[in-house]
Homo-oligomer: A and B are copies of this chain.
């Protein structure tokens, strides 16, 4: 059993099952997605990552939709194909309309452009922003 294959619930240890169960309960889903089935090769990382995400993505000062759109913008910036697909789906589930998706993409694209213009022109930080 190498990390190159998913670990299904039926083949999982009790430790892994406990995490899978909590993911399914928290997200109200039938099955966990591939990310978790691959992380299951390292139960400590599976547990730590899930508990961190559960804490971070819970509604707080920001709602779930805003958090998922930020997650998507970062994943697009890094070019992570898996994360773009999974967090795009999560954002839509949380209420992202196609018009919202288009605006997330537009802002993400523009930020990536002006980040480089600021680098290239070596713009010093304004005293007002310090």
Residues of A within 8 A of B (CB): 2-4, 33-35, 38-39, 41-42, 44-45, 48-49, 52-53, 55-57, 60-62, 66-67, 69-89, 97-126, 128-130
Contacts and interface: CB of A to CB of B under 8 A. Distances in A.
Given A70-B107, A73-B73, A115 B116 contact: no
Contacts of A33: 126, 128-129
A115 B75 CA distance: 6
A110 B56 CA distance: 8
Contact of A77 (B42, B45, B77): B77
- Total copies of the chain: 6
Given A48-B52, A75-B111, A128-B33, A82 B118 contact: yes
A80 B115 contact: yes
Contacts of A80: 79, 115-116, 118-119
B41 A86 contact: no
B125 A34 contact: yes
Contact of A118 (B35, B70, B106, B116): B35
